[in-house]
Structure 1
Amino acid sequence: MSLSIASLNSGSNGNCYYIGNNRNAVLIDAGISCRETEKRMKRIGLDIKKVRAIFISHEHTDHIRGVAVLANKYNLPVYITEPTLQNGGLALSRESVFSFKAYEPVCIDEITITAFPKFHDAAEPHSFVVASDDIRIGVFTDIGAPCEHVIRHFQQCHAAFLEANYDELMLENGRYPIYLKNRIRGGKGHLSNSQALALFTIHRPTFMSHLLLSHLSKDNNDPELVLNLFQKHANGTRIVVASRYEESEVYTIGGSVKAAKAIQLELY
């Protein structure tokens, strides 16, 4: 069994990530319009009719902008916590809304989605691990600091979308007002390049095949800079920068039962 993953958009202008097998899929966040989601999936050969649910990490506009139209058009369930729903002001029918709780897996056909809490300045923010059989994909963005929850789950993933939002010097010397700089780097904002790199170099499992660097700042980061930074430490992991302007290619993530069992024994 394998999972296909793609970034449909990644950045402060919209976030949407596709994870699925050959029969079913889920979207993590829906921060671009329904029309753009459809267009981008079609361009890379993904069938939107395979999408069975949308999971929302938190209520910021760049993560929820397209969810209402997308859910209503395709009759998709939206998994979202009550505080996130209330603070997001989403026009969703009650029939389409399903709640989730941290560490309580949700099964969508053969795919299991597990949420866990993270540090971010939102009502009730979560990250996700999406799994099918022995393959695990992590979606770790909008993280103020790499807490124990993030570290523990990152160690289990065959592939991950990992935030590398800003370069510290670019942020410090950039045009943002001081309150915004402090919000970004203050522990409940975003993960810096160096924080993401430390997480990767220290806690990367040997079987991680792909790392998609995500949610890069337009003003405070540079795709080439962060790609070069991570490639020096890749050790066999394919490093990709997820774009804020276009979809990525589709990556097929395979794994082994042996690797999954080994990490389960180590962590549990």
Structure 2
Amino acid sequence: MSLYISSLNSGSNGNCYYVGDERDAVLIDAGISCRETEKRMKRSGLSIDRVRAVFISHEHSDHISGLRVLAKKYQLPVYVTAETGKYLNLGREPYSIHFLRPFEQVQIGGISVTPFPKAHDASDPHSFLVASATIKVGVFTDIGVVCDQLIHYFKQCHAVFLESNYDEEMLEKGNYPWHLKNRIRGGKGHLSNRQAFELVLAHRPPFMSHLLLSHLSKNNNCPDLVRKLFSHFDDHMEVVVASRYNETAVYNISENSLTGIHLDRTVANPGQYQLTLF
């Protein structure tokens, strides 16, 4: 069985990630407007009618700004921890709210979603492992440090959205105030390019076929720099730098692509994807 994945947007201006099988899909975070979510999914040949739920990682605006309109319009259930829910001021919403608990799997059709805590300066931030019967995809962004839990789930992934937020030298020499620099690199902010690279180098499982580098800083990073660094892994998997301005292609994560030698580099054809998948 395949999972289809796409970053609809990735960065401090908004985050939204799509993971779905042939019947059901979920969105991880809803940090772009409902209109932009619809436009980008349509361009990719993805049907929003197949989205069954939205999972929220934490309460920062770049992860929730489009949530209320999107959930209300499509009557999508929202999954969030109780502590994060307090900060969202969830009241009598016209859609259902479900509270997550760490490590407790949620079943959405043929897809399971497992939340687990991460280090970030939010009330109760969580990352997610999204899985079908045979394929696992990680959504690991807004992480201040590589912890044992992250390594545990990373080693299970066939594909991963992994934060590569900042270049250490660019951050150090940049014009951010000192307190903001320390917030970013202080253990509850974001992963640097180096930290992300070392995680992949040390713990990438042999069956990981797709790496989508995500949440790049506009001011303290450069897509070309990230692409050059991670080109080290080009012979082992598909490496993609997710944009803060546009959606990525839709990638088919299947058992046929689970090899580091003969990579399945096929991007799902949007027209065919619309007809056969939905």
TM-score by length of 1: 0.94
For residues 91-143 of structure 1, give each alpha carbon's deviation from its aligned partner in whole angstroms, at most 9, with x where no partner exists: 66175100111110000010000000000000000000000011000000000
Q: AA paired with 1:190? A: H
Q: AA paired with 2:89? A: G
Q: 1:6 to 1:95 in 2, by over 3 A?
A: closer
Alignment of 1:93-132 (within 5 A): 93=93, 96-132=96-132
1:262 corresponding residue in structure 2? none
1:250 corresponding residue in structure 2? 250
Q: 1:71 to 1:91 in 2, by over 3 A?
A: farther
**Displacement of 1:82:** 1.4
What is the CA–CA distance in structure 2 between the aligned matches of 1:231 and 1:129, rounded to whole Å? Answer: 25
Matched, 1:51 2:87: no
SS in 1 for 2:100: coil
Matched, 1:208 2:205: no
Q: AA paired with 2:191? A: L
SS in 1 for 2:27: strand
What is the CA–CA distance in structure 2 between the aligned matches of 1:46 and 1:225, rounded to whole Å? Answer: 30
Contiguous gaps of at least 5 residues in structure 2:
260-278
Q: Which runs of 4+ in 1 moved over 3 A?
A: 89-92
What is the CA–CA distance in structure 1 between the aligned matches of 2:197 and 2:124, rounded to whole Å? Answer: 26
Q: 1:71 to 1:95 in 2, by over 3 A?
A: closer
1:78 corresponding residue in structure 2? 78
What is the CA–CA distance in structure 1 between the aligned matches of 2:223 and 2:90, rounded to whole Å? Answer: 32
1:196 corresponding residue in structure 2? 196
Contiguous gaps of at least 5 residues in structure 1:
260-268
What is the CA–CA distance in structure 2 between the aligned matches of 1:122 and 1:79, rounded to whole Å? Answer: 16
What is the CA–CA distance in structure 1 between the aligned matches of 2:84 and 2:9, rounded to whole Å? Answer: 21
Matched positions, count:
258
Q: Is the 8 A contact 2:76 2:95 kept in 1?
A: no
Q: Considering only aligned residues, what root-mean-square deviation do their CA atoms show, in Å?
A: 1.4
Q: Is the 8 A contact 2:71 2:95 kept in 1?
A: no
Q: Is the 8 A contact 1:11 1:243 kept in 2?
A: yes
Q: AA paired with 1:93? A: E
Q: Percent identity among equivalent residues?
A: 62
Q: AA paired with 2:205? A: P
Q: AA paired with 2:117? A: P
For residues 9-57 of structure 1, give each alpha carbon's deviation from its aligned partner in whole angstroms, at most 9, with x where no partner exists: 0000000000001111000000000000000000010000000000000
For residues 43-85 of structure 1, give each alpha carbon's deviation from its aligned partner in whole angstroms, at most 9, with x where no partner exists: 0100000000000000000000001100000000000111111
